[in-house]
Amino acid sequence: MLKIEHIGIAVKNIGQSNELFTKLFNKTPYKLEKVESEGVSTSFFMLGESKIELLEATNPESAIAKFIDKKGEGIHHIAFEVQDIYAEMERLKNEGFTLLNEQPKKGADNKLICFLHPKSSNGVLVELCQEIK
Ligand code: CMX
């Protein structure tokens, strides 16, 4: 794995949270994007080499809606950039981690992504991501 690409934070109201995090970071998000396949509305803030992604659910079945119902707002996942997502998925599967998707899928911010089940990584929802070139 190369670096922390972003940290995902689940929020109830992305409009209000964009204002809050704009004050916190003293900068505005560089991207707002809806990913219907994941049931999320997102915004991204660039902080040096890493990013913060805010996520609001767009429907009650969304992973973000379930997370907020159960745990409330807060850190939802950590995303790590990888060089070759196919090779990394194969490696982690062989190491015994549970992949939540068998093939990489298209995520926000022009990335191929794969999640690992938090039960197989000490309660942390891990995302692998690779930029689509
Ligand atoms: N971090 C840590 N633990 C989490 C979690 C999270 N983000 N989300 C759920 N869990 C925990 C639950 O609390 C539960 O723990 P307990 O059994 O101790 O109560 C356990 O994981 C399993 O929960 P579950 O009820 O079986 O499964 P859920 O329906 O809550 O789904 C998960 C959990 C991770 C499988 C699902 O959220 C998922 O598939 N996530 C990947 C996709 C995703 O998160 N998409 C949104 C972001 C997209 C983007 O970044 O663009």
What per-residue confidence (pLDDT) applies to 84? 97
Indicate whether 133 pLDDT > 90: no
Answer whether 92's CB lies under 8 Å from 104's CB: no
- Read off the pLDDT of residues 8-38 as tens digits, 9 standing for 90 and up: 999 999 999 999 999 999 999 999 999 998 9
This prediction has a pTM of 0.96
pLDDT-wise least confident of 66-70, 86-90, 129-133 = 129-133
Largest Cα–Cα distance in the chain?
Answer: 43
Place of tokens 């689509």: 132
If one residue of 5, 61, 125 were mutated to test the ligand 1 pocket, choosing by the most ligand atoms within 8 A of its CB, it would be: 125
Place of tokens 């809050």: 20
Indicate whether 3 pLDDT > 90: yes
pLDDT, average across residues 31-46: 95
% of the chain surpassing 70 pLDDT: 100
Report the separation in Å between the CA atom of 125 and the middle of ligand 1, taken as the mean of its atom positions: 7
